[in-house]
Amino acid sequence: MNYPNGKKGDVSSSNRKRPSSKPDFSNRGMTLEEDINQTNKAYLTLNRAVIHKKPTPVQIVNVDFPKRSAAVIKEAYFKQASTTDYNGIYKGRYIDFEAKETKNKTSFPLANIHKHQIDHMKQVCEHNGICFLIIRFTTLEETYLLPAEKLFPYWERQKDGGRKSIPYQEIVTHGYIIPLKFKIRVDYLQVLDDLYF
């Protein structure tokens, strides 16, 4: 084959890129957020619960209008720190939770959670709301529900100079596995039924 610059291309077998024998898993599954959004949509359709992702409050500062039908945000700032990812109502109880993913196989890093989120979760629990953390270990393909009351001691421990993560085995012990299903991807209400109802 000749290229436009006149040079001949090297088509020897040693320079050809061979297809990898390893399977490509890059788009194998949905993210935890996508799975939960799909789950919440199914809950709403089935009239089981009303739970939505909270919008992040943003202050728009600069907008460019290249044409009337297409505004482009050029500059924006978070108005305030967000609390948790999701909230709603189920069987007359307020539901509030945060969802996190980690590639770590042996522990869940507490750096994934912020103090203002812990403060918010404590307030929800004080008012008899149901509050929890959904943790997905992506490399293990396991998803757990950890009640907020079980999360707080780990948070306090790391504040006092202790370990800055929750060991995987302790999440297995104190949390509840959420099996991945087809129609309702992350059926966390099944776990809540066993725990609270």
Give residue 122's pLDDT band: very low, low, confident or very high (50, 70, 90).
very high
SS (H, E, C) 134-173: EEEECCCCEEEEEEHHHHHHHHHHHHCCCCCEEEHHHHHH
Give residue 81's pLDDT band: very low, low, confident or very high (50, 70, 90).
low
Return the domain boundaries, the chain: 37-196
pTM, rounded to two decimals: 0.75
Q: Which CATH class is domain 37-196?
A: alpha beta
- Known binding-site residue numbers: 83, 85, 98, 117
Query: Burial, 96: exposed, middle or buried (Cβ in 10 Å; 0-12, 13-18, 19+)?
Result: buried
Sheet with 142-147: strands ordered across = 50-53, 86-90, 93-102, 130-137, 142-147, 176-177
- Known binding-site residue numbers for Mg(2+): 83, 85, 98, 117
Instruction: Kindly state the average pLDDT of the residues 104-108.
Output: 96
pLDDT tens, 16-56?
Answer: 334 343 433 333 446 999 999 999 999 999 999 999 998 76
Give rounded-to-5 percent helix, strand, coil for the chain: 30, 30, 40
